Amino acid sequence: MNTPSPAEAREALAQVRQVRLNTADSLRMPWWLWATLGAVVAVYSAAPDFGPIAQVTAYIGYGVLSVAWYAAQRLSPRVAAASGTLHRSAVPWYAYLPLMLTALVFGAVVFIAAPAVHRIVTGSDMPAWIRDHPFTTLALPNAVLTVAAGLLSNAVVRRMACRAAAR
């Protein structure tokens, strides 16, 4: 068995490191995923304006989609590659902390600010279509903020993956 020289070993390790860096840098979620996320969040946010059946259906559908998407990309390397993320074996558990913290902060802000925003939107000086459909009116800003938070968390995860690959 031939043992490589120290220079050959360093060259091989440098190539492996470069491949890891290129892979980590290519973690970009496709555009259709962000468009889908925005649409799902908009439907979820506007559901209360369309009655309790639509609201329950949207909530259950959102939960099922969230669990299915998370489980699919954790279990299948093909789904992970299609979504622009690393398979579970390549991402450390702490890489998901920024996403979880962003979701918690965003949920807390929405929970605290929702009553005040609802009072403002349903005020007497607003047009009738806004007063009649306040949740639909707020669905687009909610979807835009959610997609922005997702893009930010994706950038953080990419940065963390690049740092881990550089080691």
For residues 135 and 45, the answer to whether their CB atoms sit within 8 Å is yes
| Cα dihedral 58/59/64/65 (nearest 10) | 60
* DSSP structure string for 100-131: HHHHHHHHHHHHHHHHHHHHHHTSTTS-HHHH
pLDDT tens by residue, 96-146: 666 677 667 766 776 787 777 777 877 777 788 777 888 888 888 888 888
- pTM for this predicted structure: 0.62
For residues 159 and 50, the answer to whether their CB atoms sit within 8 Å is no
What residue type is assigned to position 74 of the chain?
R
Task: Please state, in angstroms and as integers, the Cα–Cα distance from residue 55 to each residue in 61, 85, 101, 126, 143, following that order.
Answer: 10, 31, 26, 24, 17
Per 3-state DSSP, the chain is made up of helix, strand and coil in percentages (nearest 5) of 80, 0, 20
How would you class 15 by CB atoms within 10 Å of its CB: exposed for 0-12, middle for 13-18, buried for 19 or more? Answer: exposed
pLDDT tens by residue, 10-34: 898 888 888 877 777 766 677 777 7
